[in-house]
Chains A and B, each alone.
Chain A
């Protein structure tokens, strides 16, 4: 079974621009979660989508948004980029239902975003 895939793997943007990152979950998984990883803040939860609905949200400004499609693929958008948005963005998928096997998250390889 194919793992979680993320595109693009690397991205360079300038301040003020916007960016869209994509995540395709493991087949059969309906939940996609997004995390931001930086050297200073570590790994922080952005949001979770399940069946095209945002189910959980972390403490990030409204510039960070996402959506999920009917095939469970998810996109994350960051508008008006700031230097501090430079990070590794990881997505993780799970079945999204209650139970240890259902809730365990499996990660993609990440998208490295550099904001200049």
Chain B
């Protein structure tokens, strides 16, 4: 079974600064995907970024980028130029690649607060 661990329950950052959220996972699989989702106070779960395990290049989406270390089973999210709207709970999630169905395994979440 896969496990995902987010060791930072809460973090805060000043507007316009950079913050990094940590995530580690445990799996014996070789083909999988990793995701970061954010959940603002509205509770809507929003996809932030996706990383395919077979890709060595780190994924980026505008101000969001990841540092994917496959051997270390580490998957951190860097948010640059933080904005007030980035305030949310951030979840790291693992999905095994499978043609017969998929499920997300989530970490405990990190509550990020962006201060003005």
Contacts and interface: CB of A to CB of B under 8 A. Distances in A.
Interface in A27-60: 31, 33, 35, 42-43, 45, 48, 50, 55-56, 58
B102 A103 contact: yes
Contacts of A50: 101
Contacts, number: 64
B58 to A, nearest CB: 15
Given A90-B45, A92-B104, 5 more contacts: A33-B103, A48-B103, A56-B103, A100-B33, A107-B46
A45 B108 contact: no
A42 B106 CA distance: 8
10 contacts: A33-B102, A33-B104, A96-B102, A100-B33, A100-B50, A103-B95, A104-B47, A105-B104, A106-B47, A109-B43
Given A50-B101, A98-B97, A103-B95, A43 B106 contact: yes
